[in-house]
Amino acid sequence: MILHLQGEVMFFLYIMVITQMLAWAYFSYKGGQLNDKQFYIFTFCMLIGQTGASIETFLSQSWATFSVQIFFFLFTAFGGIKRYSITKQKTTQ
């Protein structure tokens, strides 16, 4: 049974995905060269968008797309954690 999402819910999910799109556009505009603070904000915005897309694909029962979204979410989170870890190591040396 595929759930039909209401307009307000879909609007909110689209805003979440747009957040990711804007973050990716900014990252590309900067040529991938972000300082630590910018990278954390970028990562957070990417996770917001991936969460929105994951919710939409889960509720639509698009399981293959949902699994890809989870993959991207996990590796984006891993990248953010890794960058934070590297930054902490630099400041403690």
Segment 31-64, tens digit of pLDDT: 999 999 999 999 999 999 999 999 999 988 999 9
The amino acid present at 90, given as its one-letter code, is K
Rounded average pLDDT over 51-78: 95
Q: Would residue 16 count as lying in a domain?
A: yes
Q: Which two tokens stand for residue 92?
A: 């403690």
Count of structural domains, the chain: 1
Q: 79 near 43, Cβ under 8 Å?
A: yes
Can you list the pairs that 57-61 forms with residues at least 24 positions away whose Cβ atoms lie under 8 Å? 59/3, 59/5, 60/2, 60/3, 60/5, 61/1, 61/2, 61/3
Count of positions (residues) in the chain: 93
Q: Is residue 72 part of a domain?
A: yes
Answer whether residue 74 is part of any domain. Answer: yes
Short-list 62, 79, 59, 63, CA closest to 5: 59
Reduce the DSSP state of residue 88 to 3 states and report it.
helix
42 is a domain residue: yes
pTM tops 0.85, yes or no: yes
